[in-house]
Structure 1
Amino acid sequence: MIKSVSREQLRSVRRRLNLLYEGKAEKLLERFFMMIGRYGVGRFDTLCNGDHWDERDSVLITYADSLQEPAAGNPLRALDRFSQKHLVGAVRTIHLLPFYPWSSDDGFSVIDYRKVDPASGDWRDVEHLGQSFDLMFDIVLNHCSAKSSWFKDFVAGIEPARHYFLDMDPAEDFSAVVRPRTSPLLTPTRTRDGEAHVWSTFSSDQIDLNWQNPEVLFEFIDILMLYISKGMRIARLDAVAFLWKTPGTSCIHLSQTHEMVQLFRDIIEIIAPRTLLLTETNVPHEENISYFGRGDEAHMIYQFSLPPLLLHGLSTSNAQYLTQWAIDLAPPPSGCTFFNFTASHDGVGVRPVEGILPDEETEKLVQHVETAGGRVNRRAMPDGSERPYELNVTYYSALAIPENPPLGARRFLCSQALMLSLRGIPGVYLHSLLATPNDMEAVEQTGINRRINRRKWQVDELETHLAEELPQFVFETYLKLLRRRSAQPAFHPDAPQQVFDIDPEVFAHNRVSLNGEQTIVCLYNFTPVSKSLTKAQMKSLGIPSGKCNDILSGSTRPISTAKPLELEPYQALWIATR
């Protein structure tokens, strides 16, 4: 249990509460400390060596009900069985996408934050999974379901929820508000007191919460403590960029939003210092990294520019934009890291490459995804036009080559090996691991583009799928990549990284372990033909003559700088040079 709070921690929380809720800080601070201990959150939460992460950290991203097996009893138990069988030693953390009762948006319209959707299982199933893996939960802060008890109480005028939402005057000027969707910003709603127009950033079923009301803050502090008590190691703050609203502004990335993230960081460092904050802000890169703050906001941020840049590079055989972006990428502040990924439950975001990819290259990417059977979601612009903001496709299908499926599988695995080798912690979407193709049937049945990469596998169907040659090859190779990566000190999330511009069709970088004893040179051929690295290129990469450890093959290989180093089509190569 928590024994004491330092003066510095107390001062920081008080300062943030005063900035957010002027004049109420002392009462709110007293209330916060009365809450501490309710869930027993601090009992097991000491860092043995002061480190938040190491090279063994990787995350599997999945819905609680992505795997379904009647014999298991419920989907969470089916996931537990699968994870015990295949993932021990390959991943350390499982990200359970929203598993609470919900009404739309596949979980992100939460009806009750404190319950497990009974269709998936119960808290005992979640805690059992947490005995073998660290867990990541979503905290859907910006909005809740229109079918939640909170919103029903708002409609009925019942305290305290009658003040949990934002009833706006539709005559106000909202033209400056940044919109991630084309749906109306305000949703007309009949309440006990008459018609309200409630703020709804994402849809009419997802009603934005009023964070200017401290009662909302304390609801979520309580929810945070509950989740930590149930085994949550990483808290993913969903859509946090839109949290605080001030009409007349963009209502995105406001200073109060950053202050709120910093407050959550302070609270976590008091009640559970081993817990990490991950912010989900699918926006241009410079805006995204602002959530590191000065090392006092998120511990991790998504590397949202990586999926579109990597997909563009491998689909055009052009590594230049990815290389230049990676060269320019500043290291995160001390105690912070990137969360690298290529795919998730959402599509591939387009906004994160604004200012990185020229418009004509972005259009090539959009056209490639459409050719691969994908769909495009668009957002409303202030001038009334629409622009692509998300490409819906499985990463496996996006990199498939229909006329040469084995080569397509190699191209896909090249993308995954590259992601795994970058500085930061890798996140692997279940459907990438399983080589799941586009689920066009789900899209056609529901009309929801995002369902293309949210397939729910019956376990017997999955076993048949994984018995096929290419899915089996991808699955087994991917698990091997994860296990071999976890054994390399140079892949510690904090280990330095240097990116080399050696060839427009090759992505090259190295990683050096924190103690300087291991260096790994990582090479990726972005083309469907063999490539040769010259003596000068090998020298610039620091590849010496002699025997080097080829990590991916698990063998040593003789290298002579007098001969070109051959890279096979779409080959990924990890060479330990010392």
Structure 2
Amino acid sequence: MSFQAESVIKKALRSKAERQMFEARYQRYAPDLLASIESVYGHQALRLMQELLPLMLDFYKERSEDLRQLDLERMLRPDWFQEENMLAYVCYTERFADDLQGIHQKLDYLSELGVTYLHLMPLLQPRPAPNDGGYAVQDYLQVREDLGTTEDMEQLATALRKRKISLCMDLVLNHVAQEHQWAEKARQGSERHKEYFHTYLDRTLPDQYERTLQEVFPDFAPGNFTWNETLNRWVWTTFNSWQWDLNWSNSEVFLEFVKIILYWANKGVDVFRLDAIAFIWKRMGTDCQNLPEVHDITQALRAVVRIVAPAVLFKAEAIVAPDKLIHYLGRGQHYGKVSDLAYHNSLMVQIWSSLASRNAFLLQKALQNFPEKPTSASWATYIRCHDDIGWAISDEDAAQAGLHGESHRRFLSDFYSGNFSGSHARGLVFQENKRTGDRRISGSLSSLNGLEIALEQGDLHLQHLSIERSLLAYALVLGYGGIPLLYMGDELALPNDYSFTENPEHAMDNRWVHRPRMDWNLAEKRHDPGTSYGQMFLGLKHLIETRKMLPQLHAAQPAWVLNSEIPAVLVLERPHPMGHMIQFYNFSEHHMQYPIHVLWERGYTQPLDHISGTHLDLHLGYIPLAPYSRLWVTNQG
């Protein structure tokens, strides 16, 4: 630590204990901070460090006593978010409980499920509709007016903390609403704020960029640039014409986000979901996604947070190919220094693929090819989220499984939109790209797994199979290792909500079909095993409770994907010093008999399936697998 930095810290912090704590963190993380901003901002790095230090000290001094205590606890237990008791619940606040105060009344429900992490989407003040479901942020320092106030947010964070539930907030990094004050000032002629964005006098450079850029929303937002009459320039708008991409090569943008993150960290936010992070850096001749500077910037932001508020995590919202995704958890010089969490998009996609094909061989190959994550990081595993499902299946993985990539992706779109003969699914095609043939899918967990059609037909057997498919999917999400994300309504098998077409704000975006309002009347009957919603709730709750007793499911442990002897069955093993665990997942509606030697060879002499609570009979000669069954087996001896 330089004499100048030491002097600034000593002047700002009069308490010796406070000073020693800050200095220790600064000495640990300042090198990471300096290295990353030097990589991005070059000769400006020293100036930036000089600006950042007093900024960090100000927020450090403002941090409350209970948050400082949480910082200390998590510094001493850095794997807190990897533990087998972790469970995330993901919901829109207004669709779950109307507003932030309403969330307070539902905390018992979340605690009953075993929730330890609550992601409320999205919380910050957006532009008036259309606003991309709230992700076109107009003010980063204000809570949405319809949800409450900043004080409500802080009170909720405190209440959650008392229940050992962490609060996750969306932070959109790539763009702001055109009504944001930075964009307003740019249109008013502020040269400083024009530099916050990518703007162009004519189409020369935009046309050159467009040659290698993709379209995110080709149906209703084609292209990546929008002409603004007031500014009299073209503005980079990756997602929608009213979402202006930020210019992260301008160090002032970096400083703005440091202030935003630390502001909310001091209000009690535990996790920042870094939305659209893959897009924040632009370079001619590329698709402007996943560029190295993205990871330098993330490392710099994380270093700042580790110094001021080390209880806080970053989660990367990067829905990209596996070889790109792993960099968001750290590779090379960024190993273990960027995001703590990342979405395992490939696992999600492959689960849906296996359910449609009744074949887990592609899933097996894809997971075997998947890069290994840092032991200090964790996957966020999930089967559904608020977004559509894009068929991110590589041609290479498909070829290893004996499939043609494009044909298989087309099959999945047909199957889950109900346009394939024999399909049990009822989903909607989202954003079909005629040029690439890409078709994504919207739909709820239960409707995609056949419950909607089964209920219409009054077929109890089909209803049972639908629930079993959904429980199988969640068993793998819970058993793979990471923080499992439970998307609101899945626990009650809520179906598609077609009323979105009646709302002018939502009618053009069919992703709202799987964003229903919580049915609390239904939730009151969640303990009734004679109903589909009761079966789903009780079955899922049992899986969650079982998971919490199994140290093999700590996220630091790897998941070994074994070569399965039956195409419909996925076999995983999770090593652990207290004894390994082997898992079986039958992705078909048929009974299977898996060869018993897989247990003998691995020393499972007294195998116990923890989900069913039954011992496996080694003398039977095979492991019986019922339709869509899931087994978590350890050696009781």
Structures share a fold, TM > 0.5? yes
After TM superposition, the structure 1 = structure 2 runs for residues 88-237 of structure 1, keeping only pairs within 5 Å, are 88=112, 90-103=114-127, 104-127=131-154, 128-129=156-157, 130-131=160-161, 132=163, 133-158=165-190, 160-168=192-200, 169-172=202-205, 173-174=208-209, 175-182=211-218, 183-191=222-230, 194-237=231-274
Change (3 A) 1:533 1:226: same
Counterpart position of 1:512: 575
Letter in 2 for 1:349: G
- Give the CA deviation at 1:49: 3.1
Confirm or deny that 1:280 pairs with 2:280. Answer: no
Q: Extract unaligned runs of 5+ from structure 2.
A: 1-17, 399-404, 419-424
CA RMSD of aligned residues (A): 2.3
Of 553, 558, 580, the match for 1:496: 558
Confirm or deny that 1:240 pairs with 2:277. Answer: yes
After TM superposition, the structure 1 = structure 2 runs for residues 61-460 of structure 1, keeping only pairs within 5 Å, are 61-68=90-97, 74-88=98-112, 90-103=114-127, 104-127=131-154, 128-129=156-157, 130-131=160-161, 132=163, 133-158=165-190, 160-168=192-200, 169-172=202-205, 173-174=208-209, 175-182=211-218, 183-191=222-230, 194-294=231-331, 295=335, 296-351=337-392, 353=394, 355-357=396-398, 358-371=405-418, 372-378=425-431, 385-388=435-438, 390-400=440-450, 402=454, 403=459, 404-443=462-501, 445=503, 446-457=507-518, 459-460=520-521
Letter in 2 for 1:232: V
Q: Percent identity?
A: 24
Q: 1:66 is paired with a residue of what secondary structure?
A: helix
CA contact (8 A) 1:378 1:387 kept: no
Cα deviation code 1:14-72 (max 9, x no counterpart): 2322322232222211111111143334723122334243111121111121224xxxx
Letter in 2 for 1:67: F
Counterpart position of 1:11: 31
- Give the CA deviation at 1:206: 1.2
Counterpart position of 2:6: none
- Give the CA deviation at 1:154: 1.6
- Give the CA deviation at 1:485: 0.7
> Would you tell me which structure has more helix in proportion to its own residues?
2
Cα deviation code 1:386-419 (max 9, x no counterpart): 3325321112211125351111111111111011
Distance 2:373 2:198 in 1: 35
Distance 1:556 1:83 in 2: 33
CA contact (8 A) 2:340 2:377 kept: yes
Counterpart position of 2:77: 49
Tell me which moved more, 238-247 or 122-131: 122-131
- Give the CA deviation at 1:575: 2.0
Cα deviation code 1:503-555 (max 9, x no counterpart): 10111112233xx11332211111111111223344356543x4x433223x3
CA contact (8 A) 1:165 1:210 kept: yes
Q: 2:584 is paired with a residue of what secondary structure?
A: strand
Q: Taking structure 1 as the reference length, what is the TM-score of the superposition?
A: 0.91
CA contact (8 A) 1:489 1:518 kept: no
Q: 2:141 is paired with a residue of what secondary structure?
A: coil
Distance 1:320 1:75 in 2: 44
- Give the CA deviation at 1:181: 2.9
Change (3 A) 1:146 1:461: farther
- Give the CA deviation at 1:424: 2.0
Counterpart position of 2:585: 524
- Give the CA deviation at 1:218: 1.1
After TM superposition, the structure 1 = structure 2 runs for residues 13-52 of structure 1, keeping only pairs within 5 Å, are 13-39=33-59, 40-41=62-63, 43-44=68-69, 45-46=71-72, 47-52=75-80
- Give the CA deviation at 1:331: 2.4
Distance 2:432 2:281 in 1: 20
How many aligned residue pairs are there?
Answer: 563
> Would you tell me which structure has more strand in proportion to its own residues?
1
Distance 2:91 2:494 in 1: 13
Cα deviation code 1:149-186 (max 9, x no counterpart): 22222211246433221112312212122332322211
- Give the CA deviation at 1:385: 1.1
Q: 1:126 is paired with a residue of what secondary structure?
A: helix
Tell me which moved more, 3-12 or 278-287: 3-12
Distance 1:118 1:419 in 2: 35
Q: 2:274 is paired with a residue of what secondary structure?
A: strand
Change (3 A) 1:389 1:275: farther
CA contact (8 A) 2:272 2:313 kept: yes
Q: Taking structure 2 as the reference length, what is the TM-score of the superposition?
A: 0.83
Distance 2:393 2:245 in 1: 24
- Give the CA deviation at 1:458: 5.2
Distance 1:256 1:374 in 2: 37
Counterpart position of 2:88: 59
Distance 1:247 1:489 in 2: 47
- Give the CA deviation at 1:199: 0.4
Change (3 A) 1:376 1:466: farther
- Give the CA deviation at 1:376: 2.3
